[in-house]
Amino acid sequence: AVTGQMALEQSPRELTVQEGDKVNFQCSMTGDNMWSYYMYWYRQGPRGTLEWIYVEGDLYGEGFQDHFKGSVESSKNRFTL
């Protein structure tokens, strides 16, 4: 990342899973403070369509609340799903 610019990194970047598999995604921020932003998770389908999963504050997209758990650790600049 260029010094002085905010950057996000997701790990893993992409993943193919079977229904029922348990997975963990983590987003880390450099160059700024995560508490300055509203953080969202989206899922991108094979055709590029985006589906909203989670936004900090425990709000979930339709159909996702029972299967996903999001959390934000602003002090560590870490956002997990």
Across 1-81, where does the E strand assignment appear? 7-11, 26-30, 40-44, 50-55, 59-60, 71-73, 78-80
Query: Could you name the CATH architecture of 24-80?
Result: Sandwich (2.60)
Domain boundaries, the chain: 24-80
Q: Report the pLDDT value the prediction gives residue 1, as an integer from 0 to 100.
A: 47
Mean pLDDT taken over the chain = 91
Which residues are registered as beta bridge partners of 60? 54
pTM over 0.75: yes
Query: Which among 60, 67, 15 is positioned nearest to 42, based on CA atoms?
Result: 60
Q: Could you tell me if 59 and 40 are in contact, meaning their C-beta atoms sit under 8 angstroms apart?
A: no
Query: What is the full per-residue pLDDT of the chain (81 aa) written as tens digits?
Result: 455 799 999 999 988 889 889 999 999 999 999 988 999 999 988 899 999 999 999 999 999 999 999 999 988 999 999
